[in-house]
A and B are shown apart, each in its own frame.
Chain A
Amino acid sequence: MTKLTFIAHDGTHFDVDAENGSTVMENAIRNAVPGIEAECGGACACATCHVYVDEQWTAVVGEPEAMEEDMLDFAYDVQPNSRLSCQIKVRDALDGLVVRVPERQG
């Protein structure tokens, strides 16, 4: 199991055990992390699972692909460390990953 930490906008920490191969978004939904909507169900089609990747993790997580960048255009307060959590696959290298939930999803 890979450990992920979601920090909700109010500062609440959610530490969850994630299966490798699942998406970060799926783990947020399963654990009822507030502020992750995932309106489209993970099709990279809505930008409502936007998260900020902790600065220490951006290099490991990597950059969004072109399609995800296109979708990020629709998100709120996009930062250089913005990602759509449905496009981040959990893997060993992400053990300990910290992501922050933005104030709002669009």
Chain B
Amino acid sequence: MTITRTDVIIVGAGPVGLFAVFELGLLDLKCHLIDILDRPGGQCAELYPEKPIYDIPGWPSISAQGLVDKLLEQIAPFRPEFTFGRMVSSLERLGDGGFRIVTDDDEVFEARAVVIAAGGGSFQPKRPPIPGIEAYEGGSVFYSVRRMEDFRGHDLLVVGGGDSALDWTLNLQPLAKRVTLVHRRPEFRAAPDSVNKMQALRDANLLDLRIGQVVGLAGRDGRLASATIKGPDGEIEIPCTRMLPFFGLTMKLGPIAEWGLDLHENLIPVDTEKFETSVPGIFAIGDISWYPGKLKLILSGFHEAALMAQAAKRLVSPGERIVFQYTTSSTSLHRKLGVPD
């Protein structure tokens, strides 16, 4: 088993998680960030990259992606390590006081401290609003494709109009018994090239395209048999033994809820001196943290990161004196930041 060891594991690579690397780095702590998205930036990158933010001190206006880019530039001297596309699943306290974190892909990390900077939670596929769909999840209904073979010979229903929906329609069409793509309207968000390929297969009668919304599912014992699609011309029922709905992402607290931390309405209560949770050594900053007067602002998260870093340093290097220094004047901080003499 390969174990990645670091000083601090940061769960979430949004703006606050990224800035935590800076504050921890000034105190000589190495960080490893884990995020379920495939790139840094969290909500800033996923939800509103082009939107301007007006309350970042010193920046009258900066786009969300612009802020992420600047933060990445700012923390580069500390060489943070990233694991993307993974969700932290379990956390275990080690005998020496540290923590072991395992991801949903069974990668193992160990650190002296854990910082939860998970914002609104992890981005997870949104369950489509179809009554009774829960009963078929994991057996017939999937939100991602792990093994294409699982779809061979099935009547597959792909729902959605974005790239994921079109890509899997095209990739699974040769394997499936019959693929039906269902989309609410004739326009697609997906890349025009994929849409053209799909239309060509449809013209050759190698797949079906239905404009409408899935309103009902039927089957038994968790095995899907058919789906009802409501379109402009009424409802029709089509055979369906596998379904791939692509309805975007939503945010969920996820496995963090099982870590034994005290929670306050899906947020993590912390003290406002150290931003430590109810479990010593686990800190929470940014939107996921809660304390009286908490504001879900990026700038508040930056402040929380700075104070948390002091506490994390005392935990990781007990007995070591922490000298308060300014980045403007400290030659030792300049060396860490790579500022030329």
Contact = CB atoms under 8 A, between A and B. Distances in A.
A74 B48 contact: no
A58 to B, nearest CB: 17
Residue among B46, B162, B250 with max Cβ neighbours from chain A (10 Å): B250
A72 B187 CA distance: 12
Contacts of B248: 46-47, 71, 73-74
B213 interface: yes
A46 B249 CA distance: 8
Interface string A58-98: 00000000100111111111100000000000000000000
A74 B251 contact: no
A46 B213 contact: no
A66 to B, nearest CB: 8
Contact of B47 (A45, A75, A77): A45
> How many of chain A's residues touch chain B, expressed as a range?
10 to 19
B301 to A, nearest CB: 15
Interface in B169-225: 183-185, 187, 189, 213
A39 B126 CA distance: 13
B47 A104 contact: no
B335 interface: no
Interface of A: 39-40, 43, 45-47, 66, 69-78, 104, 106
13 contacts: A43-B47, A46-B250, A70-B161, A70-B189, A72-B184, A73-B161, A73-B162, A73-B184, A74-B126, A75-B129, A106-B126, A106-B247, A106-B250
Given A73-B160, A73-B184, A106-B129, 16 more contacts: A39-B251, A43-B47, A43-B48, A43-B51, A45-B46, A45-B48, A46-B47, A66-B187, A70-B161, A73-B185, A74-B248, A76-B129, A104-B129, A106-B126, A106-B128, A106-B250
